[in-house]
Structure 1
Amino acid sequence: MTTIPVIDISALSSPDRADWAGVIQQIDHACREIGFLAITGHGISKQQLDAMFDLSKRFFEQPMDAKRAMEIANSSNHRGWGSHGAEQLDPSKPTDWKETFDMALDVHPEHPVVAACPELYGPNQYGDMPGFQQQMNQHYGLLLSVAKKMLAAMALALNLEETFFTRWFDSEHVTVLRLIHYPPRPADQPVAEDAMAAGAHTDYGCITLLAQDAVGGLEVQGNDGNWISAPPIDGALVVNIGDLMQRWTNDAYRSTAHRVRNLAPGKHRYSMPFFVEPQFDTPVSCIDTCLAEGEQAKYPPITSGEWILSRFAATYAYRQKTA
């Protein structure tokens, strides 16, 4: 395999589940073999994606003071702008060369779920850019609809009820829409040959939907340990399996390491991952249909919130300082 498979999922919009069969088989195969795929026919227009990349560019071009007013380190629930060096995905490498913006469901501070898990729920920080909050929330809703289709297809592929995964996304889930800007490295600073714009890592949640611009640089680790390019496909979304799904499926579906390589001098890269993460108290333990006769579960039961917070603590400098 020289790149990730591309699957047209338009059949998942059919009300007749019989029409889903071929797509479900393709998704299941990709999840088991590499844990990465690109999807077309998802229903989000290229014009919408282009508008979001334009929004992202304008957001990151704001003055530094405007972005610092939304700093993620000042958010109890991990929402807002993250500066260069805030995140280190690969602990063996220098901090990642990027800036980010994270948003999720806006939850009022007095909502009971905030009291239950204040580290993952609460208000977003949007800043003062006109139209930014509205456009982010609209796109969040579009992506969530695609994610639920994918999760329903995966449940059916695993011989489960169609709502096995999606039921944990009916209300207080912690799915995050992130904007990422990878700026060029300063020309006068030497860069190690193996330095990454984003270090090798796996994602924490169930699945991730990723829109990437035309610059490229995303690489996926294959079964043999070699790195495979996942080049941009116009209008497509990249989908990958996260750690929670791997735990749920006892490694049947693979949470695959991926990274972003250094970019050519002078290039700005933008991407938008959508981290599909269930409500904080979702119990994640081995699915019976993923156990062969005599096979044991490889992971102890855990809640989604416990897992995600453990990964935040290992990845973000500001959380380590707090600890």
Structure 2
Amino acid sequence: MVLLSKASSSVSSEQYSYTSNCMPTTFSSSSSSSVPIVDLSKPDAKTLIVKACEEFGFFKVINHGVPMEAISQLESEAFKFFSLPLTEKEKAGPPNPFGYGSKRIGPNGDVGWVEYLLLNTKQEHNFSVLGKNPEKFRCIVNSYMSCVRKMACEILELVAEGLKIQPKNAFSKLVMDKQSDSVFRVNHYPACPELAMKGENLIGFGEHTDPQIISLLRSNNTSGLQISLRDGSWLSIPPDHSSFFINVGDSLQVMTNGRFRSVRHRVLANGVKSRLSMIYFGGPPLSEKIAPLPSLMKGKESLYKEFTWFEYKNSTYGSRLADNRLGHFERIAAS
């Protein structure tokens, strides 16, 4: 059972306007492992990042260089948007695939106790429907995304250095490319007071891996995130509003030929406090060919068939959240 915070909710369930009641679920979680912490200002950062990507596919970064002001401003604007009446929020949707969505996650039947905004980082969006001060929202979003993109590239260059890959921008150039298919997502998980009274939890966002190269997550000081460990148990991640959490994505798993593992994770909704998370998904250009880097093979056979990011992205649209989406691209040894 995940312990719930006793803080009050910022947004009521009435404002969220779900038509169905909260569905209780009980989960077991592990506390035997601790999340790797990487100080990006230290010389050993590259070594610690590689180790964390191999063992967890996940780590926390401190001294990341993203101004707290940029973080708090965007969080404040996001809460203002999600506090609007449902009819106002729906003007920014439906997500096709970008825009506002609620409860439904993807086109294949997955649902969660979540509402969200999904934005493409290289396209202009109709911010006029996002609250009373859309130009302010636009500026704050762009400023924040610029900061986290820079951090993503720094981390990916440290990965290359740690793996002794040349050039060191082998990964980061894909995110910095003008055609990079990166996306930005803001998830809001409203409190569910009925569960708080019973001490129960429910799925906010079901278990999945991220298909892109790398994900940078920041959330408000509310619990809920869990990652899957190698033994299949779930580790609850203590919230830390001043740090970022980094996920290895499917594409990076392929490019390292399985040396790094794309982390399976999920979110449990909080019974008494709303949770807001902001995730930058660093993705390659649509035409980019994804395959293990030759410098990492050293005579080893590739575990994956080569594919373009466009092909992989399309394949994910036909899958459920919990599916092993890389399964279609694995090389199966002849028996």
Q: TM-score range by the shorter chain?
A: 0.7 to 0.9
Q: In structure 2, do the counterparts of structure 1 residues 188 and 105 end up closer, same or farther at CA, with 3 Å as the change threshold?
A: closer
Tell me what 2:4 maps to: none
Output the CA distance in 2 between the equivalents of 1:213 and 1:234. Answer: 5
Indicate the residue corresponding to 2:142 in structure 1: 137
Among 105, 111, 115, the residue aligned to 2:121 = 105
1:7 equivalent in structure 2 = 38
1:1-323 to 2 correspondences below 5 Å: 2-11=33-42, 20=43, 22-73=44-95, 75=96, 78-87=97-106, 95-107=111-123, 123-126=124-127, 127-129=129-131, 130=133, 131-160=136-165, 161-168=167-174, 169-185=176-192, 187=194, 195-264=202-271, 266-293=272-299, 295-315=300-320
Q: Which runs of 5+ in 2 are unaligned?
A: 1-31, 322-335
Q: Is the 8 A contact 1:206 1:276 kept in 2?
A: yes
- CA pair 84-186 structure 1, distance change in 2 beyond 3 A: farther
Does structure 2 retain, via aligned residues, the 8 Å contact 1:183–1:267? yes
Report the TM-score, using the length of structure 1 for normalisation: 0.81
Matched residue SS, 1:280: coil
Q: How far off is 1:224 after superposition? A: 1.1
The one-character-per-residue Cα deviations of 1:170-196 (angstroms, maximum 9, x if unpaired) are 2111111111100123639999x7841
In structure 2, how many angstroms separate the alpha carbons of the residues matched to 1:217 and 1:42?
22
The 1-side partners of 2:41 and 2:84 are apart by: 37
Q: What is the aligned length?
A: 284
In structure 1, runs of 5+ residues without a counterpart are 12-19, 108-122, 317-323
Cα distance, 1:253 vs structure 2: 0.7
Q: Give the conservation status (yes or no) of the 8 Å contact 1:103–1:125.
A: no
Deviations 1:69-103 (A, max 9, x none): 11144x4xx211111224489x7xx6111001011
- 2:320 and 2:192 map into 1 onto residues whose CA distance is 22
Question: What is the CA deviation profile of residues 122-166 of structure 1, one whole-angstrom value per residue up to 9, with x for unaligned ones?
Answer: x42322431111111111111101011011111222222111112
* Distance verdict in 2 for CA 1:87–1:3, change over 3 Å: farther
Q: Deviations over 1:177-230 (max 9, x none)?
A: 111100123639999x78411111101100100001111111111111111121
**Would you say the 8 A contact 2:195–2:201 is kept in 1?**
no
User: How far apart, CA to CA, are the structure 2 residues paired with 1:86 and 1:31?
Assistant: 27
In structure 2, distance between residues paired with 1:155 and 1:62: 44
Identity among equivalent pairs (%): 25
Given residue 82 of structure 2, which amino acid in structure 1 is its aligned partner?
A: F
Task: Tell whether the 8 Å contact from 1:79 to 1:125 is kept in structure 2 after alignment.
Answer: no
Deviation, structure 1 residue 26? 0.6
